[in-house]
A and B are shown apart, each in its own frame.
Chain A
Amino acid sequence: MRSRELGFRLWTGAFALVLVLIVAAIGVELTRQSMLSIQKFGLNFWATRTWDPVTGEFGALPFIWGTLYSSVLALAIATPVALGIAVFVSELCPARLQQPLIFLTELLAAIPSIVYGLWGIFVLVPVVRSLQTSTPEVLQQFPLFSGPPLGVGMLSAGLILAIMVIPFTSSVAREVLKSVPIAQREGAYALGATRFEGIRAALFYARTGIIGAIMLGFGRALGETMAVTMVIGNTPRVSVSLFAPQYTMAAVLANEFTEADTDLYLNALIEIGLLLFIITLVINVLSRLLIWSMDRSNKVVTPAAEPLAEAAA
């Protein structure tokens, strides 16, 4: 009897072990396959601006810059909107509206990246282009708004990323808000607080979880590939301009991977993949820890680490 029990545990455990091994294997494989590049360029790889497959010069700085710039830009646009939605759905709107609104924001998450990209190329990019041509001359003097009116570039990428990140951040923020004890708000209201002050108290109480939700969105933005590839302009360049075509780590992988004709070129690309893996891993772990610590301090209501509906995304 005991041995049967153990057998079941080992048997299901073996499958679970496969899951764990896959994660480890990703790290090991990516490191192994990028050895050539790691050995040749060392730490300089991350600080070099030149990306020239013809002469065999590979530096990842433009891609790191583009990835961080586009993700931070997306976050700056998406975070207030996502938190606003979370507050509206969980605190303000009539109960009857709640489910339909949750469903609609989830639709945003269900649309495939490639569809956003297609829409980006044919609808968003022309809009951004006309926005740029109508930017006053005075403003165009600033580096932030300089550059030829192409439409493809950092702003288009940031906007499309923001749309894609909103449902993630807002759904986690909503769950976190749900776990704030009702007494927190009631206490505030009893003291004569306005709607805003009561919600502010709840938001403050939930701050670690909210930061976790924002970081989870950041992790999504960093790794997003297709939609960004199709609108960012794919030019390896470090520029602060919102209108300049740039490049991201995920986009360079999507575009150049099958064109890599030398081992060094391929290894350099895989090293970019390795870095992307490490960054998203760190961001995800941190955000989970934050959301989890929030859960622990509120034993009253424990939401699932990831709401079931999340998986629909």
Chain B
Amino acid sequence: MTGSTVLRRVVSALFVAGCGLSVLLALVPLAFVLFFVISQGIPALNLAFFTHMPAPVGEPGGGMANAIVGTLILTGLGSLLAIPIGIMSGVYMSEYAGSRFAAIVRFAADTLNGVPSIVMGVFVYGFAVLPFKQFSALAGGIALGIMMIPIIARTTEELLRLVPSTMREGALALGATRGRAVFTVVLPAALPGIITGVLLALARIAGETAPLLFTSFNNRFFTTKLTQPISSLTVQVFTYAISPYADWHRQAWAGALVLVLLVFLSSLIARTATRRLEGLSRG
């Protein structure tokens, strides 16, 4: 074996080791974040956290009942806005995949997906808060909804393409119109996948803070009024995290734990469903 061959093998082995090391480097922070969220969150998490209102400064205890309800309302509003627009755009992109306008829509969806969430907050503030001089749950829901649209649209598009084209052609051959073929054959076949896409979108926006800071703002009180500012888990965690009170820090960790569980659970459900669907279309 010549010297240069040895050198080349050493370089190669170092490279392989380096790649393995980078996997570890990424897993260390993951483990650390999860460890702290769980170890700090669990002691602070109790029934009161889910059922009680925030306690005044200096008084221990209290919970985030209003923030939990707020997050549910905000994500619900977002879904109401995003699901129709997202699914219909997805249908358009897959049905007329080759058209110029479909390419434009696809491009717009990817662009929208890349818009920083804080910019989305500024944008919605401009037309849903400023004119009414009032932060509102509605504005927060719109901001979250706009962020969900591109995710739902792109997943719907991808999943409709997984549906075998013979199914659509069969329906068309029987004399169905395009709309009929899509709504009675193609969409139902892809439905579990589309629900998955919606779940993925929900998982992503449930953890968003930035677009809510100046749309739904925050509220110390329990409210379900859509025209009033409303609390959310994320904004509440932020408020508590940057406060100087130890008791609020504990609550922030508990909130973070709930958020992480919420997000992981929905992406886990979504992932298993997608796998199953992909398996079906292949097999």
B16, B19, B104: the one contacting A20 at CB < 8 Å is B104
B117 (CB) vs chain A CBs: closest residue: A225
A46-54, A103-111, A137-145: which one contacts chain B?
Answer: A103-111
- Count B interface residues, CB 8 Å: 100
Interface centre among A18, A103, A121, A308 (most CB of B within 10 A): A308
B243-283 toward A: CB 8 Å interface, digit per residue (1/0)? 00000010011001001100110010011001000000000
B24-32, B43-51, B56-64, B219-227: which one contacts chain A?
Answer: B24-32
> Shortest 7 CB-CB distances between A and B: which pairs?
A223-B116, A112-B207, A84-B22, A15-B88, A8-B179, A194-B12, A196-B12
Hey, which chain A residues are within 8 Å of B206, CB to CB? 112
B109, B114, B121: the one contacting A281 at CB < 8 Å is B114
A92, A276, A313: the one contacting B119 at CB < 8 Å is A276
**A-B pairs with beta carbons under 8 Å apart, 18 shown:** A5-B177, A5-B179, A8-B178, A13-B92, A15-B84, A16-B92, A82-B22, A89-B23, A105-B26, A110-B267, A114-B241, A115-B256, A230-B242, A257-B121, A269-B122, A270-B126, A283-B114, A311-B200
B86-130 toward A: CB 8 Å interface, digit per residue (1/0)? 001101110110000110111111111111111111110111001
Say whether B111 contacts A281, CB under 8 Å. Answer: yes
> Given contacts A13-B101, A15-B89, A29-B126, is CB(A112)–CB(B260) below 8 Å?
yes
B37, B125, B154: the one contacting A311 at CB < 8 Å is B154
Say whether A19 contacts B126, CB under 8 Å. Answer: no
Say whether B112 contacts A88, CB under 8 Å. Answer: no
Hey, which chain B residues are within 8 Å of A113, CB to CB? 207-210
Say whether A104 contacts B36, CB under 8 Å. Answer: no
Give the complex CA separation of A291 and B20 in angstroms. Answer: 25
Say whether A309 contacts B271, CB under 8 Å. Answer: yes
Hey, which chain A residues are within 8 Å of B84, CB to CB? 15
> Given contacts A108-B30, A280-B116, A284-B110, is CB(A311)–CB(B19) below 8 Å?
no
B64-100 toward A: CB 8 Å interface, digit per residue (1/0)? 0000000000000000000011001101110110000
B19, B36, B111, B242: the one contacting A84 at CB < 8 Å is B19
B214-242 toward A: CB 8 Å interface, digit per residue (1/0)? 10010000000000000000100110011
A-side binding surface: helix, strand, loop or mixed?
helix
**Smallest CB separation, A248 vs chain B (Å):** 10
A33 (CB) vs chain B CBs: closest residue: B126
Give the complex CA separation of A223 and B36 in angstroms. Answer: 26
Interface centre among A5, A81, A119 (most CB of B within 10 A): A119
Say whether A115 contacts B108, CB under 8 Å. Answer: no
- Count A interface residues, CB 8 Å: 95
Verify if B8 is at the interface (C-beta below 8 Å from A): yes
A5, A19, A199, A304: the one contacting B108 at CB < 8 Å is A19
Verify if B186 is at the interface (C-beta below 8 Å from A): no
Verify if B191 is at the interface (C-beta below 8 Å from A): no
Verify if B168 is at the interface (C-beta below 8 Å from A): no
Hey, which chain B residues are within 8 Å of A301, CB to CB? none
**Smallest CB separation, A287 vs chain B (Å):** 9
Say whether B126 contacts A121, CB under 8 Å. Answer: no
Give the complex CA separation of A283 and B25 in angstroms. Answer: 27
B9, B112, B210: the one contacting A194 at CB < 8 Å is B9
Verify if B189 is at the interface (C-beta below 8 Å from A): no
Hey, which chain A residues are within 8 Å of B95, CB to CB? 9, 12
Give the complex CA separation of A274 and B94 in angstroms. Answer: 32
> Given contacts A22-B112, A29-B123, A226-B209, is CB(A308)–CB(B118) below 8 Å?
no
Give the complex CA separation of A307 and B118 in angstroms. Answer: 24
A12 (CB) vs chain B CBs: closest residue: B92
